[in-house]
Amino acid sequence: MASVLSYESLVHAVAGAVGSVTAMTVFFPLDTARLRLQVDEKRKSKTTHAVLLEIIKEEGLLAPYRGWFPVISSLCCSNFVYFYTFNSLKAVWVKGQRSSTGKDLVVGFVAGVVNVLLTTPLWVVNTRLKLQGAKFRNEDIIPTNYKGIIDAFHQIIRDEGVLALWNGTFPSLLLVFNPAIQFMFYEGLKRQLLKKRMKLSSLDVFIIGAIAKAIATTVTYPMQTVQSILRVSQFWGPPRSGSSDT
């Protein structure tokens, strides 16, 4: 219990939350373009640069930052939960023993499951808020009118039921392999570098972190697309008459 409630786990959790919030703020416009490309099929032939210019032209200069606060709030909570759980479980399981790639993967997976079950409602709400007011090419997408995070929770529960807050949970559970794979490669690369030097620099940590994240994202990207579509499922209207969809 002392390992779970340790100061070290809290520091890791806060550092992970702050780091993720900073990174997301810097690259938020790119995440906006990613989400539009995933859920609006009419945009899929466009490049990221073209989509961003299109969004700014049609919706205003600040449109790429629409939904920043709910996304940052969800990301902060999500990463705090993940890093706290990851480091607490690792401290309990390893107990001074030498860590291994397999143990890192298992701990990362369990931490990811805990994170998904606790924070999916936040991600459902922030995904919809981020898309609210967007101009879609797909005419079957029905816009919503949420006044904020609390109102979004209220409307989703009232109109769709409590379980709608966990839309996309299944692909999200599969996506726990993303941070698990990321941490497996990160810890593995870090151990390899520490064999050659006593201490890692900030640049070393940045590079191995970027490599690990790139590998994890590439492997799990198809499931991220499915997850985004399920989270905004209420945006999709009924099939139009004469539609050839099956």
Tokens of 244: 């050839």
Please give the pLDDT value at position 237.
46
Q: Give the Cα separation of 22 and 31 in Å (integer).
A: 13
The CATH number of the domain holding residue 129 is: 1.50.40.10
57: in domain: no
61: in domain: no
Please give the pLDDT value at position 138.
64
Three-state SS annotation for 165-208:
HHCCHHHHHHCCHHHHHHHHHHHHHHHHHHCCCCCCCHHHHHHH
44: in domain: no
246: in domain: no
In the chain, how many domains are there?
1
241: in domain: no
Mean pLDDT per 10-residue interval, the chain, length 246 residues: 62 79 86 81 72 87 85 84 82 70 79 88 84 70 78 89 86 78 82 81 85 86 79 54 39
For residue 236, list its beta bridge partners.
141
93: in domain: yes
Range(s) of the domain holding residue 166: 7-19+68-235
